[in-house]
Structures are given as structure tokens and as C-alpha cells.
């Protein structure tokens, strides 16, 4: 479906699910998406990422939040073999394009 989505100019968003070691379909999808078409999200409060630093912690309140985006980006970039900085820059730039109309509208309201 990714080629079809891209053909129509859509962006594809990935959340904490991409960090799941068993999420092979999600990782394969991320590998297929063009660098100029993926964005990241937390899917707050759901889909808490599989973060190595949290594996030994007792289950507390596993609610996802925006502060986990860098960890999601790090794990996702590792899983597809792209450098963290390159991956993060693409996700950031793509997000600016997606949300440009919203950002402009807010700027014009001030």
C-alpha cells in the first residue's frame, strides 16, 4: 500500500510500535517509505515503546508521551540501518511540511 499512499502525496506515520522487536511488518513498511514521506508520533498515551532502558524497571504507568520521540527515532533508525541524525532530520522536516498549514494558521492568529 505504501507506493499507492505515496502516489497520492500522503505521509506515513510511525509510533512506538516500530520499536517492538516482533513488529516485522511495521519495520518492513518503514523501510519501504521514501525518506521524504515518513513522520514519527508517540500515539500518546498508547503504544508505549520498547525502550531498552525500561526493560528492567517494574511496570509503572506505561503511558507514552512526546519525550519518548528521540528514543523511538533511535530504535527505528537502528532497525532500518539509517543514522539517527539523518533519520531524525527527515522525520522533522517531513513533520514541518505536514503541519505547515496549522503552524501558519496559528502564526496568523497572533
Interatomic CA distance for residues 36 and 93, integer angstroms: 8
Strands, E, within 1-110: which ranges? 12-14, 38-40
Full-model pTM: 0.83
Neighbours of 54 (CB within 10 A): 15
Mean pLDDT score, 22-50: 91
Identify whether 45 is preceded by a cis peptide bond (ω within 30 of 0). yes
Q: For residue range 50-95, what is the model confidence (pLDDT) as tens digits?
A: 876 655 454 556 778 888 899 899 999 999 999 999 999 999 999 9
**Which residues touch 3 (CB under 8 Å, ≥6 apart)?**
32
Q: Domains of the chain (ranges plus CATH)? A: 2-109 (3.20.20.140)
Q: Residue 12: beta bridge partners?
A: 38
Amino acid at each position: 500500500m505504501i507506493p499507492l499512499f505515496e502516489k497520492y502525496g500522503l505521509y506515513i506515520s510511525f509510533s512506538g510500535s516500530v520499536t517492538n522487536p516482533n513488529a516485522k511488518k511495521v519495520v518492513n513498511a518503514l523501510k519501504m517509505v521514501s525518506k521524504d514521506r515518513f513522520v514519527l508520533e508517540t500515539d500518546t498515551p498508547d503504544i508505549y515503546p520498547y525502550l531498552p532502558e525500561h526493560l528492567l524497571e517494574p511496570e509503572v504507568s506505561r503511558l507514552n508521551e512526546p519525550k519518548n520521540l528521540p528514543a523511538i527515532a533511535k530504535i527505528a533508525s537502528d532497525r532500518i540501518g539509517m543514522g539517527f541524525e539523518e533519520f531524525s532530520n527527515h522525520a522533522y522536516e517531513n513533520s514541518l511540511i505536514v503541519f505547515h498549514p496549522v503552524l501558519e494558521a496559528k502564526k496568523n492568529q497572533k
